[in-house]
Structure 1
């Protein structure tokens, strides 16, 4: 049975600003309070690039940087998998609005940011990473899809992989069709080779019987259901508690992805 070692975590969401704060909440050391989330700044980027980036890019880069620092890895040599259900909806909204105007004045900068792998591109600029990178979307199951892709890459190439999942609430009127309740981003450094730095060991299997794991705290459960990237919360809670457990993630198919977690 294939395993993965979790060596680093990055986290950013309302009331879960950074892994140390998130771990305290998810381990029940303190209650969850949905406090306003600090503004992500993407400090790794050069100033000129940082001014041009969007909130989506900055959020993805912030958790990626935290996870890489937590695991003490070299991000310039680490492959990445980035997962988002909708990409940068704010930019897409601006482009759609521009297309309704005379002469269709689409901003080249907005067009540049509209592609799904824009955060991956900025991460490679910030870290000078030339390793493989993949950006994907699987609607509400994007985190599980990203985890499976990261696992496949790690096992095939016998290398660490940085997984980043993120989604932000879309602006009106897109929000009428696609509701996301709050911003959420998470990053995991995954290693197929056991090391002394691991926070947990994951064993991944497909399971057609178990429903997706949920959370006892009503506010955290609302967050889990309200943002595709937050489907990671049951896994993060198990890591924070440092106890052996099992978590099931929906994959949008007849079965789910079952994670056996050892501290």
Structure 2
């Protein structure tokens, strides 16, 4: 893989203490200590009210961050190819399905079942926005953010057009809590475009990290703690660089034994 030069046109965030990108950017710059203990249920503006009531939290988190990133970029989500990346998909629904199948299989809800598939979030998004561009659903466990970022960067470079990335996960419930240590929701989104001399937005250059590199961590203790609570919060490392006023370089896990070196120039 050679280096990929990009522009970050839009950013979206929805996480405990970080209800939007301006609030998150201020906290990542050290402006305040966010309260990461509670977070209201998301209410993404691009989903119709009826869909917001029916949709599971994974869909709401993903769409909330994606809507903010698209609005900041000033681009119509209907024309943006999109990548939705989730480490585990909807844990709550899959726990419900397993428990119901074990105890009363005839009571399994068809609605719950159709929300259990891994591409449910990107499906809701495509229908709500009328997007007929390519969509991709990714799952890469603790390398989820880096893997999604790599896919979005390569698609933007290949298509020579902007691409939306939304990374999200929600809290684990039921029996899966013993093996999936997520106790909160987290979503982040980026609109990436190929770099251009007259382009707008922060510059982002991605390439394979050096062989001896290790994945970095955010500077703030609260951000490091949030990463331990949700795999998708790995995005905080790059978000911290984007929030800063100075150039920064960070190494991001993107797969087993593979790291991305991300150079940010605001």
What's the TM-score once normalised by structure 1's chain length?
0.95
What is the match of residue 46 of structure 2?
44
CA contact (8 A) 2:8 2:203 kept: yes
The answer to whether the 8 A contact 1:200-1:242 is kept is no
Instruction: Deviation per CA, 1:145-167: give whole Å up to 9, x if none.
Output: 10010111111111100000001
Query: 1:17, CA displacement in angstroms?
Result: 1.0
What SS does the corresponding residue of 1:86 show, helix, strand or coil? coil
Aligned pair in 2 of structure 1 residues 182, 50: CA closer, same or farther (>3 Å)?
Answer: closer
Kindly state the Cα deviation for residue 242 of structure 1 after the two structures are TM-superposed. 2.4
Out of 135, 140, 145, the position equivalent to 1:138 is 140
Q: Using the TM superposition, give the Cα deviation of residue 19 of structure 1 relative to its aligned residue in structure 2, in angstroms.
A: 0.4
| Alignment-derived partner of residue 119 in structure 1 | 121
**Residues in 2 aligned to 1:169 and 1:57: alpha-carbon distance in whole angstroms:** 13
- Determine the C-alpha separation between the residues in 1 that align with 2:207 and 2:245: 20
CA distance in 2, matches of 1:24, 1:103: 49
- Structure 2, unaligned runs of 5 or more: none
Q: Secondary structure at the match of 1:81?
A: strand
Question: 1-side partners of 2:197 and 2:14: how far apart?
Answer: 26
Q: How many residues align?
A: 263
Q: Give the match for residue 177 of structure 1.
A: 179
Which range is displaced more, 228-237 or 44-53? 44-53
Q: Is the 8 Å Cα contact of residues 79 and 162 (structure 1) preserved in structure 2?
A: yes
Q: 1:211 aligns with which of 204, 208, 214?
A: 214
- Large movers: runs of 4+ above 3 Å: 195-199
Could you tell which deviates more after superposition, 57-66 or 39-48?
39-48
- Which residue number corresponds to residue 111 of structure 2? 109
Residue in 2 that maps onto 1:32 = 34
What is the CA deviation profile of residues 27-67 of structure 1, one whole-angstrom value per residue up to 9, with x for unaligned ones? 11222332522220123222332222111111110110000
Q: Select 1:13's aligned residue among 12, 15, 21.
A: 15
Please give the per-residue CA displacement for 1:185-223, whole angstroms capped at 9, x wherever unaligned: 000000014376633111111122211111232221011
Q: In the aligned structure 2, how far is the partner of 1:219 from the partner of 1:210? A: 24
Match of 1:55? 57
Compute the RMSD of aligned alpha carbons.
1.5
| Aligned match of 2:256 | 253
Task: Give the structure-2-normalised TM-score.
Answer: 0.94
1:242 to 242, 245, 250: 245
